[in-house]
Structure 1
Amino acid sequence: MSNSKPTILVQLDTDAQPSVFDGVVAVDAGVDHLFRHASVTPDNVRDLVYGALFTRGPADLRQTALFVGGSNVAAGEAVLETIKETFFGPFRVSVLFDANGANTTAAAAALAALTSVGGSLDGAHAVVLPATGPVGQRVARLLSRLGASVSIGSRDLGRAQSLAERLRNTTGGRFEAFTGGDPAQLNATIAKASVVVAAGPEGAQVLSAALWQGRSDLRVVVDLNAVPPLGVEGIEATDKNVERHGARAWGALGVGGLKMKIHKKAVKALFNANDTILDAEEVLELGRDLV
């Protein structure tokens, strides 16, 4: 990052306090200056973006970038859309969207699965449960991009069906919905899975050992919950592509190491150009050579 102008990352956080985690990652990624703003909304973000656009000439705008974060992913998505609408002509800077770590975590989970099945998900059947949260939605989307057909799980079948339809329409991928609250339906869905990703809330078990252990077709299980009880019974948080009961296992901390590498690489990539938007798919591509 050595150019005539120092690199500046403007952290736009929708929470009342900017994320310390995201700030530390930015510093460790080598950003020269970090400007942190809290309580960012679509209504107040335009002036912040204008400040980033109009203080440097077009040739130097690649040295300025934006990071959209915060714990509320939907709020961050609204801010991102306003940012994109604010850009015009050559007046634009690169943006990384990673509210609540959703994109980097989902990319790491999808790449962990891809690695464990030998580098190809073409024809694989993946299950994501629950899939209707911010991380689960992105994991489902990315697994489909990598070639898998994906079963969308939720205790609310209507939410699962709505998400499956939306993902089919936006990606052209193969998605079906099921309810994880129905033991028989959950068992039948896991029985045909080659990949399972648990993206549930902290401290909530979504898959018992009896439902996944010993399944002949199951090749990889990824659990993104690090808080006991873990999301998948029989997986350790530190598991990193280890064999457990015939499947390759990844725990939240095992995935987390890859997520951190992807996050840092994404921050560095912002300064390669002034017109890059890093959302889930772009973050996934950046992480392919890091597994």
Structure 2
Amino acid sequence: MDRPYILHMITPGKQMSPFDINMAADAGYQLLPTYSEVTLDGVTGLTQDAIFSRGPKGVARTGLFIGGRDVLLAADMLDAARKAMVKPFVVSVMADPSGSYTTAAALVACVEGQLRKVHGTDLAGKRVVILGGGGTVGRIAGVLAQQLGADVRLSSRGGVEAAQRAADETNVRFGSAMSGVSGKGVDAIRASIADADVVLGTAAAGVQVISEADRAVATRLLVAADVNAVPPEGIAGVGVMDSGKLLPGSRAVGIGALAIGNVKYQVQHRLLVRMRGAEKPVYLSFPEALAVAREVLAET
């Protein structure tokens, strides 16, 4: 009898996301044990328990998935799991806390695609302002955009100090060079987006961060993208189904949450399938997610 495909699902939170469990099952994993409230120190023990019990043939059908809501901790957990491997007992590991790695990758890939398609350019040298930038998706989208040459500003409703703190923490962990700007109040938001080429809405669901009047001050705007699928739209004028739709009174185009979400879903599915079928262990994080998001968009 063939050994089953097992994906050990680890989270520092109280429960594993049902979304991720469903995605793993649809990718072909047969057993999906979950481990909650796992600390960074606990990753090594869990990893070695998972690998030593199956033998060299069994580890080929074993994987680890790291969830939670902390994008920095998830990256540390992935590193800890990788360091815990003992050859030939080595398995694949994927991290995607709150779906942020795959969502951020889809968001950035969609923006990059529209910049090229509509404006004949890319993210290099563009000023990118991320509203809700201190959250899970905003931080990783910022890292990816900055790696592609953008000047990234994380904006926070908590003010410039909160925004800079999020930028500094993320920069230290991922070697990026983002800065923080205030999103506390209409005047601060308008000041931050006035010279933006790209605006990303990654704030909480159901919160509008930019009104039509706010957007009007962004005279350099080329692309506005929003991951909020709950009314009202996070960026006024950007519908959830929009995929490169021209914004009223602007040369900018909008990308909505469901257009981004469709790419995110395909990215997570493909990464899980890749991990399950890998002949050699793979370690999957947001750089790999961006590569797959580009593949998805190239097929459309």
Q: Which bin holds the TM-score, normalised by the shorter protein? A: 0.7 to 0.9
How many angstroms apart in 1 are the aligned matches of 2:197 and 2:141?
A: 15
CA contact (8 A) 1:203 1:230 kept: yes
Q: Which residue of the partner structure matches residue 191 of structure 1?
A: 194
How many equivalent pairs are there?
288
Q: Is the 8 A contact 1:94 1:273 kept in 2?
A: no
Q: Which moved more, 1:148-157 or 1:53-62?
A: 53-62
Q: Paired residue for 1:278? A: 284
Q: Distance in 1 between matches of 2:78 and 2:236?
A: 37
Residue 10 (str. 1) matches residue 8 (str. 2):
yes
Q: Give the letter for the 1:51 counterpart.
A: D
- TM-score norm. by structure 2 comes to 0.85
Aligned residue type for 1:125: R
For residue 135 of structure 1, what is the amino acid of its counterpart?
V
Q: 1 CA distance for matches of 2:152 and 2:44?
A: 38
User: How big is each residue's C-alpha offset from its partner over 1:98-122, in whole Å with a ceiling of 9 and x where there is no partner?
Assistant: 1111111111111111111017211
1:175 aligns with: 178
3-state SS of the aligned residue for 2:124?
coil
Stretch moving more, 22-31 or 43-52: 43-52
- Letter of the 1:105 counterpart: T
Contact kept in structure 1, 2:194 and 2:217, CA below 8 Å: no
> What amino acid is aligned across from residue 288 of structure 1 in structure 2?
R
Task: Tell me the CA shift for residue 164 of structure 1.
Answer: 3.2
Could you report, residue by residue, the CA deviation over 1:192-235 in whole angstroms, capped at 9, with x for unpaired residues? Answer: 11111011112222111112247442111111111223321222
Q: Distance in 2 between matches of 1:5 and 1:114?
A: 42
Cα deviations across residues 255-283 of structure 1 (Å, max 9, x unaligned)?
11111000001111213254422122222
Paired position in structure 2 for 1:149: 151
Q: Which residue of 1 aligns with 2:273?
A: 268
Q: Is the aligned partner of 1:226 residue 2:229?
A: yes
Counterpart of 1:84 in structure 2 is 82
Query: 1:124·1:149 contact (CA, 8 Å) conserved in 2?
Result: yes
User: Once the two structures are aligned, what percentage of the paired residues are identical?
Assistant: 32
Counterpart for residue 248 of structure 1:
253
**What is the RMSD of the two structures over their aligned residues, measured on CA atoms?**
2.5
Preserved contact between residue 64 and residue 274 of structure 1 (Cα < 8 Å): no
Gaps of 5+ in 2: none
Say if 2:220 is the partner of 1:217.
yes
CA gap of 1:288–1:242, structure 2 versus 1, over 3 A, is: same
Q: Residue 46 and residue 215 in structure 1: after superposition, are their counterparts in 2 closer, same or farther (change >3 A)?
A: closer
Deviation, 1:167, is 4.8
- Tell me, in whole angstroms, the C-alpha distance in 1 between the residues paired with 2:149 and 2:240: 27
Give the structure 1 partner of residue 208 of structure 2.
205
Q: 1: distance between equivalents of 2:63 and 2:208? A: 39
